[in-house]
């Protein structure tokens, strides 16, 4: 048994049985060890952004970490953007980054780099197994860190010689996740008092507060106390649809976000952060709250949010019943294919238990409002603003939940970042429907160019913001990677493709020309 | 005039007139400033790996830096792998990384990250323009650092408010590149003495030593002193072909590299590093040189290599004429399409002045040996081992040299890393022929699995090393991004496609099924 074997054994003993991978030479012994463990599912991504984004989507739906396998510093670097998103979603993840053998680093061979410096900004825990003897212990630390709080990004650097050297090892430990902190009694009392003081109050929630049972309790608290319940702008996972609470989110657009809180006198945070501008805009504030608004944090993201919500319910009482959204089935849209038409078509047709992976940026903003009464579903968002998470997230969600339909709402610009993920959908026969909003431009940036006061786009700006010369053929891209696909440019054609796609299993892509 | 304007003015004043870009909201004022400077050529990449790889290819051929425009930490992260390659090639480059407004960082908005930590491993210089007043000075520092030594990677972090705030500025300074260090007289004497001491000597060269005039001098030195002249394994740019010196490189495969130096008693380094294993392999040494081999460094990469070579020639004298490779035109291959057949077809057909961007990994190893007598060409390699540099490098080389044919030798596995670069080839109508070696597997890793003693691939390993289920349709991928393409699976079909592709301008892709 070598270091790579004990690493695999430790992962499997802790229920980590899915490995999203793109290996290189320094990871060959780890690959060989995975070969000896057929119960580990190995899923290849053709680029590391697919690997880490898939691990993110997997853990959001499985509620447990996957492991990634990345090749030295540059391989990690390629995966960092989606680690950034995963970290902002409090996703648990264990990254194994192979490195040169310890004694080889002095040679500064071409692939040598400072992996620690690269990993630090996007990791909650970093460790290095500097010999075979400590691979097991370091792996256990990595798993423990991933299971701490709401979830953490662990990055374990594995030198090749630590992987390949033989040793004898004690059996791996099953890690008990550290208990989540309970609400501080003083903060609980303060929140309860605030909810009784008659001021205009928003309860702002995220994380595990967005699961259906917690949202029902929160809605009954909000009714009882006449507070407004609101979700953070971007959230890792939210349970919604008919029979659940119809919850709004903080708007992305800064003027809308400011208006949303204009009369708010106090905010109570449960797993959410106080709302801030996604970007700075000249002459506009950074905080979305009025200056006089009080902010009370009942529970930060890494606390036991269900316990905090239950304790708050005990303090302030509950309305008798939660206001569950009724099932609504809009008529199928007709005529011009618009983002709104796509939203209505989805609201009418998407199946119960669908998992929505939303990286639609501007084009998908209609979806949320149109689907309060759609079949109940999970809604997964881009949490860190680093585009290129959509297609990989759908990969991971589909691996985690093979019996549920995954629907990716995908902007074309961000979709190109990790387009390679379509191939993994084909290879693994994943039940993913990707809807590409093909507006053939970075639409958001045309708006932002105006928002920041930089004026409308001229020739050079259009060369950097428009994707229409040549237009991307998403049907061709998908088919070239083994995913069946078709194009729609009317609402009727879209509805027909959607119906067909939802009655079959396996990957499919609709290019919605809007 | 705002900070973004002075940044553009400073770049342009220093001849940096090509901007490879993928902007975001925090860079909108820089985009607007570029809009006011039509003499700046803005080239959009649909992923940051394309942007940095293109800037690398551009500078290797233009011998001056391009500027890149990247969006916050994750945008930089996406470009790091090709910055790693560029740094290993000593490519000059100025990266502008937009960041939140300085006063917005305290809010930890979703896209906030530690950009410095991300930039450090792949940058020779990092700076932050923390106010409009110092944008000009910081830009000048960044340019100076990029022009120092053989070339450096400068990363300038540009907060949005430093870009958008108005100011009055002195006119930009034209930066004089710091003079390159001349050879140390003692090292020069030592090298000259070594070349006379009768031992088996290799002169190992890289960088500017690989340009045609320097190679001719080096060949005459080698003849005179009976030394062997050899190039580093991977080099940023090498001038070769008929009428030039036929120079071997250090082999990649470790046993071949060890054999290459088995009888070498001394090595003289000129812009090259002492040869080491690309990876560590169990039971094999890290240095490719015999333990008793003496290593003399005449000039490190950042020295004035042409001056060092001229000085060495003065010391040891020159053979009367350089041994220039005769023109050789192999017969066109027939039958089965193999990497060797592709190499022969290229040797016969590639035009004078072609720029070869080689990321063919295992499949292209035949090319080098087959083309000593091909039409004279430049040969650009993957220098840092971070795959995904090929397609972008071809983009940049074609932007730098619009009158020359660029030929990308592209492995399929690494090609998928930055496949988005094909779209930029189409958009910019670049004269690039991409030849994809479609072996439908990470062929090198099958070999490495054996090399490191991990045994042949089983089920899980094959799931991570093979790309055949489904096979990638490279013709479809290219066409979907606007690049004409065709497939060849015989030598005859390949030769016919090659002939057709070389008699037209503009991007084309051949999927060579091998």
Sign of the Cα torsion B130, B135, B140, B144 reads positive
Residues pairing with A125 in the sheet: A154
Mind telling me how many Å the CA of B313 is from chain A's nearest CA?
A: 30
Q: How far apart, in whole angstroms, are the C-alpha atoms of residue B60 and residue B88? A: 12
How does strand B377-381 pair with strand B354-359? parallel
Closest chain B residue to A464, measured at CA: B44
Separation CA B5–CA A491 (nearest Å): 45
Q: Helices (DSSP H) in B134-176: which residue ranges?
A: 135-146, 160-164
Min Cα–Cα distance to chain A from B86, Å: 11
A228-to-A222, A263, A273, A365, B390 alpha-carbon distances in Å: 6, 12, 16, 21, 54
Which chain B residues are within 8 Å of A113, Cβ to Cβ?
84, 121-122
ω into B223 cis (within 30 of 0): no
Both tokens of residue B403? 């009158």
At a CB cut-off of 8 Å and minimum separation 6, what does B425 contact?
B391, B394, B395, B398, B432, B434, B483, B507
- The residues near B185 (Cβ < 8 Å, ≥ 6 apart) are none
With CB atoms and an 8 Å threshold, state whether A473 touches B480.
yes
User: CB A460 to CB B384 under 8 A?
Assistant: no
Find the largest Cα–Cα distance for chain B: 70
Query: Under an 8 A CB cutoff, do A47 and B114 touch?
Result: no
- Among B25, B206, B413, B467, the strongest candidate for a mutation testing the A interface, having the largest count of A CBs within 10 A, is B25
A35 contacts in chain B (CB < 8 Å): 457-461
Q: What are phi and psi of A436, to 5 degrees?
A: -90, 120
- For B134, counting Cβ atoms within 10 Å of its Cβ (0-12 exposed, 13-18 middle, 19+ buried), the class is middle
Task: Considering only the beta carbons, identify the residue of B49, B385, B454 that sits closest to A29.
Answer: B454
- Nearest C-alpha in B relative to A112: B384
Task: Using the predicted structure, report yes or no on whether residue B326 has a pLDDT greater than 90.
Answer: yes
Contacts of A78 in chain B (CB under 8 A): 49, 78, 80-81, 388, 417
* Chain B residues whose beta carbon lies within 8 Å of the beta carbon of residue A386: 74-75, 77, 111
> CA B402, CA A151: separation in Å to the nearest integer?
51
pLDDT, residue B448, reads: 87
Q: Do the chains contact at A84 and B73, CB–CB below 8 Å?
A: yes
Which residue in A382, A470, A459, A392 sits closest to A430, CA to CA? A392
Given this model, what pLDDT does residue B455 score?
A: 77
C-alpha distance from B176 to closest chain A C-alpha (Å) = 29
pLDDT of residue B450: 87
What is the band of B453 on the pLDDT scale with cuts at 50, 70, 90? confident
Q: Could you tell me the CA-to-CA distances from A87 to A91, A123, A298, A384 in Å, in that order?
A: 6, 7, 21, 8
Q: Name the token pair of B296.
A: 């003399």
pLDDT of residue A448: 87
Kindly report whether the peptide bond that precedes residue B470 is cis, defined as omega within 30 degrees of 0: yes
Cα distances from B299 to residues A20, A109, A338, B150, B184, in angstroms, run 44, 19, 63, 11, 8
Regions of chain A with pLDDT less than 50: none
Tell me the pLDDT tens digit for each residue of A80-134: 999 999 999 999 999 999 999 999 999 999 999 999 999 999 999 999 999 999 9
**Residue B370 CA, distance from chain mean position:** 21
- Residue A124 to residue B288: CA distance in whole angstroms: 39
A109·B470 Cβ contact <8 A: no
Sheet strand arrangement including B238-240: B238-240, B377-381, B354-359, B406-411, B432-438, B508-513, B484-488
Residue A66 confidence (pLDDT): 98
Q: Helix B48-62 to helix B72-88 angle, to the nearest 10 degrees?
A: 30
Residues B173, B185: Cα–Cα separation, whole Å = 34
Predicted pLDDT at B244: 98
Least Cα separation, residue A468 to chain B (angstroms): 9
Confirm if A406 and A379 have CB atoms less than 8 A apart. no
Residue A109: closest C-alpha in chain B: B278
* Max intra-chain CA distance, chain A: 70
Q: Which residues of A touch B106 (CB under 8 A)?
A: 286
Distance (Å) from the alpha carbon of B328 to chain A's nearest alpha carbon:
33
Q: What is the DSSP letter of B287?
A: B
Residue B381 with chain A: CB contacts under 8 Å? none
- Identify which of A273, A426, A461 has the shortest CB distance to residue B35: A461
The ipTM assigned to this model is 0.97
Whether residues A477 and B477 touch (CB distance < 8 A) is answered with yes
| Radius of gyration (C-alpha) of chain A in whole angstroms | 24
Length of chain A: 514
CB neighbours of residue A334 within 10 Å:
10
The pTM for the full model equals 0.98
For residue range B39-83, what is the model confidence (pLDDT) as tens digits?
A: 999 999 999 999 999 999 999 999 999 999 999 999 999 999 999
Nearest C-alpha neighbor of A276 from the set A3, A284, A299: A284
pLDDT in tens, B89-138: 999 999 999 999 999 999 999 999 999 999 999 999 999 999 999 999 99
Q: Residue for token digits 């892709």?
A: B509
> Chain A: nearest CA to B312, how far in angstroms?
27
> Which of A280, A285, A295, A387 is the best mutation test for B, with the most CBs of B within 10 A?
A280
Residues of B in contact with A280 (CB under 8 A): 26, 100-101, 103-104, 160-161
**H or E segment to which residue B479 belongs:** helix B474-480
At residue A182, the pLDDT reads: 96
A106·B286 Cβ contact <8 A: yes
Pairing of strands B18-21, A484-488: unpaired
Q: Which of A236, A209, A235 is nearest to A313 (CA)?
A: A209
Q: How many Å apart are CA A267 and CA A202, to the nearest integer?
A: 5
Q: How far is CA A49 from the centre of its chain?
A: 13
Contacts with B74 from chain A: Cβ below 8 Å: 80-81, 84, 384-386
Structure tokens at B79: 């470009």
Which of A121, A153, A166, A424 has the highest number of chain B CBs within 10 A, making it the mutation to test binding with B?
A: A121
- Per-residue pLDDT band for B512 (boundaries 50, 70, 90) equals very high
CB B232 within 8 A of CB B206: yes
Residues A225, A254 contacting (CB under 8 angstroms)? no
Subunit contact B47:A417, Cβ cutoff 8 A: yes
From CA A436, how far away is CA A230, in angstroms rounded? 28
Whole-angstrom Cα distance, residue A219 to residue A214?
9
Q: Are residues B100 and A280, on separate chains, in Cβ contact within 8 Å? A: yes
Residue B256, exposed/middle/buried by CB under 10 A (0-12, 13-18, 19+)?
A: exposed
Task: Locate all alpha helices (DSSP H) within B317-373, ordered by sequence.
Answer: 339-349, 365-370
Sheet containing strand B266-270, edge to edge, reads B248-249, B228-231, B201-205, B266-270, B294-299
| Distance from C-alpha of B144 to C-alpha of B132, rounded to nearest angstrom | 19
Contact A280 B37 (CB under 8 A): no
Q: Tell me whether residues B80 and A74 touch, CB distance under 8 A.
A: yes
Shortest Cα–Cα distance, B427 to chain A (Å): 6
Contact A42 B463 (CB under 8 A): yes
- Give residue A451's pLDDT: 81
Q: Do B280 and A104 touch (CB under 8 A)?
A: yes
Alpha-carbon gap, residue A213 to A318, rounded angstroms: 14
CA–CA separation, B123 and B117 (whole Å): 10
Amino acid A454: pLDDT: 76
The residues with which B336 forms a beta bridge, in sequence order, are B490
B488 neighbors B512 (Cβ within 8 angstroms): yes
How many CB pairs (< 8 A) connect A and B?
Answer: 334
């Amino acid at each position: 048994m070598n270091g790579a074997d004990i690493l695999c054994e430790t992962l499997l003993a802790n229920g980590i049985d899915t490995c999203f991978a793109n290996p290189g030479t320094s990871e060959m012994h780890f690959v060989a060890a995975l070969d000896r463990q057929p119960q580990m599912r190995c899923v290849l991504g053709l680029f590391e952004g697919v690997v880490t984004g898939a691990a993110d989507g997997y853990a959001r739906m499985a509620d447990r970490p996957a492991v990634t396998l990345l090749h030295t510093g540059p391989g990690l670097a390629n995966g960092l953007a989606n680690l950034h998103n995963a970290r902002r979603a409090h996703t648990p993840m264990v990254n194994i980054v192979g490195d040169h053998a310890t004694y080889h680093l002095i040679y500064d061979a071409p692939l040598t780099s400072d992996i620690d410096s690269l990993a630090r900004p996007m990791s909650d825990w970093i460790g290095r197994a500097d010999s075979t003897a400590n691979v097991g212990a370091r792996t256990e630390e990595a798993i423990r860190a991933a299971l701490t709080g709401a979830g953490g990004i662990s990055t374990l650097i594995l030198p090749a010689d630590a992987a390949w050297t033989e040793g004898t090892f004690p059996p791996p430990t099953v890690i008990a996740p550290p208990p989540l902190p309970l609400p501080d009694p003083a903060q609980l009392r303060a929140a309860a008092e605030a909810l009784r003081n008659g001021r205009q109050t928003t309860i702002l929630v995220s994380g595990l507060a967005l699961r259906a049972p917690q949202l029902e309790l929160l809605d009954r608290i909000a009714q009882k106390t006449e507070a407004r319940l609101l979700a953070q702008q971007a959230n890792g996972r939210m349970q919604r649809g008919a029979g659940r609470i119809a919850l709004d989110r903080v708007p992305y657009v800064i003027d809308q976000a400011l208006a949303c809180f204009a009369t708010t006198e106090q905010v109570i945070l449960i797993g959410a952060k106080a709302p801030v501008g996604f970007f700075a805009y000249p002459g506009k504030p950074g905080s979305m709250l009025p200056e006089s608004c009080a902010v009370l944090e009942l529970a930060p993201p890494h606390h036991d949010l269900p316990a905090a919500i239950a304790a708050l319910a005990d303090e302030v009482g509950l309305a008798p019943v939660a206001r569950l959204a009724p099932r609504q089935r809009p008529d199928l849209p007709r005529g011009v294919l618009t983002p709104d038409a796509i939203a209505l078509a989805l609201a009418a047709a998407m199946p119960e238990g669908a998992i929505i992976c939303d990286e639609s940026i501007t084009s998908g903003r209609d979806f949320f409002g149109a689907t309060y009464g759609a079949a109940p579903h999970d809604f997964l968002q881009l949490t860190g603003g680093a585009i290129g998470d959509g297609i990989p997230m759908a990969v991971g969600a589909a691996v985690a939940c093979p019996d549920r339909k995954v629907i990716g709402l995908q902007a074309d610009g961000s979709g190109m970042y990790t387009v390679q993920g379509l191939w993994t959908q084909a290879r693994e026969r994943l039940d993913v429907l990707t809807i590409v909003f093909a507006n053939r431009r970075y639409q958001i940036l045309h708006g932002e160019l105006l928002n920041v006061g930089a004026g409308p786009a001229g020739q050079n700006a259009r060369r950097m913001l428009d994707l229409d010369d040549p237009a991307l053929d998403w049907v061709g891209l998908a088919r070239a990677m083994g995913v069946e696909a078709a194009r729609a440019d009317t609402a009727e054609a879209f509805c027909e493709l959607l119906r067909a796609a939802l009655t079959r299993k396996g990957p499919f892509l609709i290019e919605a020309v809007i």
